[in-house]
Structure 1
Amino acid sequence: MEKLKFAELGLSPEILKAVDKMGFEEASPIQTAVIPTILEGRDVIGQSSTGSGKTAAFAIPAIEKVDTQVRKVQVLILCPTRELAVQVAEEVGKLSLFKRGLQATPIYGGQSYDRQFRALESGVQVVIGTPGRVMDHMERGTLKLDALKLVILDEADRMLDMGFRDDIEKILSAVPEERQLLFFSATMPPAIQSLIKRFTRNPAWIKVESSAQNAPKVDQVYFEVDRRSKLEVLTRLIDLYDFRFGIIFCSTKIMVDELDEHLHARGYAVDRLHGDITQTQRNRVMEKFRRRGFEFLIATDVAARGLDVDDLEVVFNFDLPNDAEDYTHRVGRTGRAGKEGRAFTFVSGRELYKLQGMVRFAKIKIRRENVPSLDQVEEARENVFFEKLRTTLQEAKFKKQDRIIDRLLEQGYASTDICSALLHMMQQGGGDKPDAAPAAKAAPVKALPAAAAPARPTHSHEPDAGSFKKAAYREEAPPRRAEPLKEASTHDDDRPRASKQKYERPGRTGKEAGYTTIFVNVGRKELITPGDIVGKIAGVTRLPANIVGAVDIHQRHALVDVISEHAELVITRLAGIRVKGETLKPAIATEANRTTE
C-alpha cells in the first residue's frame, strides 16, 4: 500500500512539528489511508492489528479535532487493557506536545480514583480508558460526554473476547448522536459487525494487510533492555560475535546523530544516514559503505529504504520500528542471496507489547535471549585471538624473532613466561608490535554458535560496565575504548555536562593565522555554549578538540575558528546534525553572515 509523508496529509503545523520531533519522516500504510478519511468526518472501520502503526493513525486526527478552548471531554478512546491504555496515552502526549491547552488522561482499573477524579475535574479533552473504568466514572457522574465529538474503539475484537460487550454497548448508547465513531480490529467476527451495523453511519472500510514476508535465512532475536543500557548492550553484542559489517536502525534522526557520536568515541568505524543529510553526502556515505570503508551504517528507515548492499552480517534494531512492515524491511537487508544473517532487536518497557503485536501481524519468528555477560565477551575475544594466532602459526608467514627470544632465554626467563608476556602486550595494545598488523588483517573468525547461552535475564539485571576492546582492530577504525563511556543515556536531557568544562574557548572573533572561521546557525537563543560546539566537532570528526580555536557566540549564530586544513571536514560532518533541536547548516564565514543576528 502507498505511503505518504506526513506533510502531504493536510495536518496542522503543530502536529507536523511533533511528528518531526519524534523523528518520523513518513506515514505507514494505515496512517496514509486512515488519517485523511477521519479528518473528513466519516466513521471508519479499520481492520489492522497492533504493530501496523494504527495508534498514530487515529491519535493524530483525534488531536486535530480537539477544540482547546472547550474544557470538556471531546475524544474517548477505549482500550482492552490498562497497558494498552497507558501506551496510547503516551503516544497522544507526544503527538499533542505543541498543541497548547490540550490535556489527555488515561483511566483504568487499579489506579487511584482520587487521581482520576482530579484529572477529569481539571477539564481534560481526551480520555483513554478501559471499558469497565469508563462505565464506572459515567455512573458516578465524574465523566460527562455531552461534548463528545469522537469515539475510538482500539482492538475491538479483544475487548469483546474479554467480555466488555455490554459495557461497550452502554457507552456507545450514552454518547451524543452527532459524533464520529472509529472501530479498529484485527478480525471482524459477527459480534463486531453487529456493533458496526448498529452504531455507525455509512462507515469507510479500510483494511491493511502486511505485505512483508518473514526472512527465512535470518536468525531473529530480541533483548529486553533498559533504554539507558542500549549502548552497552550494542557494543557487547558486536564484540561477542565479532561483527564487521552491518546496519544499526534508529527511529529518529536525533538518535542517529547521537549514536554516531557515541560509537565514534568508543572507536567503532561508523557513519550515518537520515532525511536531513544532503543527497551528495548520502551518495558519498553509501559508496564508502559498499566498499567497506567503515563497519556500521546508522540510519533511519526512510534514509535506508532501497539500499542495495550485499553481505551484511547483522542488522540491529536499536529502536523498535514504527510498524511490522518496516521491521521486516529492516531485517530483510541481511541474509540475502542464500546466505545466513542475524537481526537483533532491543525493546524496553511497554515496547514489548508492540513487538508482540508485530509478531502476530507479520507472522515474525523471533525469539527472546538474554544479554551476554562480560565473561562471555571475554571468552569470545580470547577465542578470536586464539584462532588468529593458530592460523598464523600454521601458515608460518611471520618473521622469526630467534635473536630476541634467545637473549630472553639466556637471562633465565621461561619460554612460557615469554609467550604469556607477548600475548599480554598484544591483547592490551602495548609495545611495538611489528607483526601485529598482519595478524589483524587475517580473515575474521565467524560468529560464535547460538548455543553460547547468556548468563542472566536482562529484565532483572543491568549490563555491567566493562571492557569491550577487541583483540585486533580494523585498519580504518581507531582503537576501541577499553572502558565504556560513563553516560547511561543517549538522550539530550540525560547527557553529562561535566566534559564540556575542558572545552571552553575564548569568546572572540576569529581570523587567526592558519585558522578558518566557520559560521554555525545556532547561538545564545538556543542556549549554546562553546563546550556544545567543540564537543560536537570532536565527536563527529574524531579529531582532537585542540583543532578548534576561538568560539564567538552571538544571539542567533556562532563563529568558530578551526585549523584550516580541517575546515572542509568539519563543515561536511556537522551538516545535518541536530543541536538543541536545530539542524546545523555550517558554512565558511563571510562578512555578511558574520554580522547576521
Structure 2
Amino acid sequence: MNFKELGINEALVKILKDTGITEPTPVQSESIPHIKAGGDLIGEAQTGTGKTLAFLLPIFENISPTVNNVQALILTPTRELAIQITNQALKLKEGKDINILAAYGGKDIGSQLKKLKNNIHLIIATPGRLLDHIERKTVDLSKLKTFVLDEADQMLLMGFKNEVESIIKVTSKKRQTLCFSATLNSDVKKLAYRYMNDPITVTIKKEEVTLSTIKQHVVETTDRRKQNALCAVLDEDNPFMAIIFCRTKRRADDLEVGLYQRGYNCAKLHSDIPQSKRERIMKAFRNADFQYLIATDVAARGLDISGVTHIYNYDIPESVESYIHRIGRTGRAGEEGYTCLFIDPKNNDMLEEIEEALKFQIPRRQVDDSFKKD
C-alpha cells in the first residue's frame, strides 16, 4: 500500500518523495486511515518506526488553513523531540498556508507570544512551556480538533502526569486523542483510557531484525584505561558519523575534553547545555560538520539522525532496553551498523543481562589500551 492509497494528497506525497520517503512503514499504514477518519488511537511504537509521520500526515490532511484557531496540538516530553517534530512539520507545510508554533523551554517566550498574534493552526510543545502560555491566556485550546500525546511513557517517567492532565482539561471535549508510546505499561494505559473515546490500539513490535544488521562487539578494559581503548577503536574504525554514549553529564564533559585534546573532531550534548547551543550542535552533527557526538541518554532521547554508522557505548547503559535503544540508532533502513560496548569488571552483571536478552554472547574485541594518540 502506498501513501496515496492511505488517502494522503498529491502535494504531501510529492514532499515525502522529495525527501526519499515512498513507502509507508507499518505504523503509518495501520494508523493513518483511522486518524484521518477522526478516531482515537493508542500506538505502541519505538522511535525510528516512522510514528511521527503517522500522526503528522493525517493532521495536515485535516487542518483547515482558513479556520483561525488552534486545530492540533502535539505534546512531547523533551525539547529535542519538539524540535525534531517541528522540523518534520515544516517540511510538510511547504506551499500550504499553515501556521506552526514550537513552544518549548529555552526558547524566547517573547518571540513565541509575538507569533501567537498570528493565528496558529498547529502547536508542538513541551508541557511546562505550554502551561505557561495557557496561564498567560495566550493559547486557546477550546476548539482543538486533535491532541497527540507523544512518548507517553517518557512523559510519565519524567513526572509530567499532572501537567498533561491540566492541559487536557482546557481542550475541547470533542477532540480526537492520539497517544503514542514505546511501551504500553499500566500507567500509560490508565492515562490514555481516562481521556479517550473507544480507541483502537496499533502495536508495532520491536523489530528484532534491526539487530541483525548491527554488528556488535565488547571491549573489556578498566575505567582508567577506557579512554585509551576508545581512541584505539576510533582510529581503527574511523567511522563516518558516530554517537558515543556516556552515563552522566560529568563523564560526557570529561570525555569531550580528553578526545578534543587528542585531536578528535567531537562535540558533547547534554541537558546542561543551553538550548540554542544544543540546536546548533545537532544541526552541525546532521550536516556531518564533526565526526563524534558525545551524548547522555536523556539528551539523545528520540534523536533520529540518518548517517550514523557507529554507536560506541563508552559507559554501559542501565538497562537492556536502553542498550537496544542506543544501538538501534545505527543499522537503520536495512543499512549495516556497528556498535561497540566498553566494560570494566564491575559491569559484568549488566553485560550478562544484555547477553541473556539478546540470546547470544557478544564477541570480544581485542584492542591495545596502552595506546596514545600522537
Report if TM-score (shorter chain) is over 0.5: yes
Q: Select 2:104's aligned residue among 96, 108, 112.
A: 108
Counting only pairs closer than 5 Å after superposition, residues 94-493 of structure 1 correspond to structure 2 as 94-98=91-95, 100-213=96-209, 214-215=211-212, 218-219=215-216, 223=242, 226-229=285-288, 320=306, 344-345=309-310, 357=325, 359=327, 366-367=338-339
Aligned residue type for 2:131: M
Aligned residue type for 1:96: K
Report the CA distance shift for 1:229/1:78 in structure 2 as closer, same or farther (over 3 A): closer
Aligned residue type for 1:19: L
- Is residue 38–residue 44 contact of structure 1 (8 Å, CA) maintained in 2? yes
Shift of 1:190: 2.3
User: For the residues of structure 2 that align with 1:361 and 1:35, how far apart are their CA atoms?
Assistant: 25
User: For the residues of structure 2 that align with 1:22 and 1:159, how far apart are their CA atoms?
Assistant: 30
Shift of 1:186: 1.4
Aligned residue type for 2:71: Q
Aligned residue type for 2:48: G
* Secondary structure, counterpart of 1:77 in structure 2: strand
Shift of 1:104: 1.0
Aligned residue type for 2:104: Y
Q: Partner residue of 1:32?
A: 29
Q: Per-residue CA shift, 1:407-464, capped at 9, x if unaligned?
A: xxxxxxxxxxxxxxxxxxxxxxxxxxxxxxxxxxxxxxxxxx87698969xxxxxxxx
Identity of aligned residues (%): 31
User: For the residues of structure 1 that align with 2:146 and 2:329, how far apart are their CA atoms?
Assistant: 26
Q: Partner residue of 1:427?
A: none
Q: Per-residue CA shift, 1:520-579, capped at 9, x if unaligned?
A: xxxxxxxxxxxxxxxxxxxxxxxxxxxxxxxxxxxxxxxxxxxxxxxxxxxxxxxxxxxx
User: For the residues of structure 1 that align with 2:372 and 2:117, how far apart are their CA atoms?
Assistant: 50
- Is residue 216–residue 340 contact of structure 2 (8 Å, CA) maintained in 1? no
- Is residue 72–residue 122 contact of structure 2 (8 Å, CA) maintained in 1? yes
* Secondary structure, counterpart of 1:89 in structure 2: helix
- The answer as to 2:50 corresponding to 1:53 is yes
Q: Which moved more, 1:122-131 or 1:212-221?
A: 212-221
Q: Per-residue CA shift, 1:340-362, capped at 9, x if unaligned?
A: xxx9359xxxxxxxx98574699
Q: Partner residue of 1:68?
A: 65
- Is residue 45–residue 206 contact of structure 2 (8 Å, CA) maintained in 1? no
Report the CA distance shift for 1:55/1:216 in structure 2 as closer, same or farther (over 3 A): closer
Report the CA distance shift for 1:228/1:51 in structure 2 as closer, same or farther (over 3 A): closer
Q: Partner residue of 2:253?
A: none
Give TM-score, length-normalised by structure 2. 0.62
Q: Select 2:74's aligned residue among 61, 73, 77.
A: 77
Shift of 1:217: 8.0
Shift of 1:216: 8.0
Report the CA distance shift for 1:216/1:49 in structure 2 as closer, same or farther (over 3 A): closer
CA RMSD of aligned residues (A): 3.4
Aligned residue type for 1:137: H
Q: Partner residue of 1:574?
A: none
Aligned residue type for 1:195: L
User: For the residues of structure 1 that align with 2:15 and 2:338, how far apart are their CA atoms?
Assistant: 32
- Is residue 50–residue 361 contact of structure 1 (8 Å, CA) maintained in 2? no
Aligned residue type for 1:22: T
User: For the residues of structure 1 that align with 2:41 and 2:115, how far apart are their CA atoms?
Assistant: 29
Q: Partner residue of 1:22?
A: 19
Structure 2 portions without partners, runs of 5+ = 218-238, 244-283, 292-304, 312-322, 342-365
Shift of 1:60: 0.8
Q: Which moved more, 1:113-122 or 1:150-159?
A: 113-122
* Secondary structure, counterpart of 1:94 in structure 2: helix
User: For the residues of structure 2 that align with 1:24 and 1:208, how far apart are their CA atoms?
Assistant: 19
Report the CA distance shift for 1:90/1:154 in structure 2 as closer, same or farther (over 3 A): same
- Matched residue count: 260
User: For the residues of structure 2 that align with 1:358 and 1:94, how far apart are their CA atoms?
Assistant: 27
Aligned residue type for 1:223: A
Report the CA distance shift for 1:227/1:76 in structure 2 as closer, same or farther (over 3 A): closer
Aligned residue type for 2:306: L
User: For the residues of structure 2 that align with 1:454 and 1:71, how far apart are their CA atoms?
Assistant: 62
Shift of 1:227: 4.5
User: For the residues of structure 1 that align with 2:58 and 2:84, how far apart are their CA atoms?
Assistant: 17
Q: Partner residue of 1:275?
A: none
Report the CA distance shift for 1:218/1:6 in structure 2 as closer, same or farther (over 3 A): same
User: For the residues of structure 2 that align with 1:81 and 1:150, how far apart are their CA atoms?
Assistant: 20
Shift of 1:71: 2.4
Aligned residue type for 2:205: E
- Is residue 214–residue 330 contact of structure 2 (8 Å, CA) maintained in 1? no
User: For the residues of structure 1 that align with 2:57 and 2:140, how far apart are their CA atoms?
Assistant: 23
Shift of 1:17: 1.5
User: For the residues of structure 1 that align with 2:61 and 2:84, how far apart are their CA atoms?
Assistant: 19
- Is residue 99–residue 122 contact of structure 2 (8 Å, CA) maintained in 1? yes
- Is residue 70–residue 121 contact of structure 2 (8 Å, CA) maintained in 1? yes
Structure number with greater Rg is 1
Structure 1 portions without partners, runs of 5+ = 234-318, 322-342, 347-354, 370-448, 457-597
Q: Per-residue CA shift, 1:180-238, capped at 9, x if unaligned?
A: 000001122222222222210110111001333323883587525844448x98xxxxx
Report the CA distance shift for 1:217/1:118 in structure 2 as closer, same or farther (over 3 A): closer
Give TM-score, length-normalised by structure 1. 0.40
Shift of 1:56: 0.8
User: For the residues of structure 1 that align with 2:164 and 2:56, how far apart are their CA atoms?
Assistant: 20
Q: Partner residue of 1:490?
A: none
Q: Per-residue CA shift, 1:251-285, capped at 9, x if unaligned?
A: xxxxxxxxxxxxxxxxxxxxxxxxxxxxxxxxxxx
User: For the residues of structure 1 that align with 2:139 and 2:214, how far apart are their CA atoms?
Assistant: 52
- Is residue 320–residue 345 contact of structure 1 (8 Å, CA) maintained in 2? no
Aligned residue type for 2:309: F
- Is residue 45–residue 184 contact of structure 1 (8 Å, CA) maintained in 2? yes
- Is residue 79–residue 131 contact of structure 1 (8 Å, CA) maintained in 2? yes
User: For the residues of structure 2 that align with 1:12 and 1:90, how far apart are their CA atoms?
Assistant: 20
Aligned residue type for 2:134: M
Q: Partner residue of 1:402?
A: none
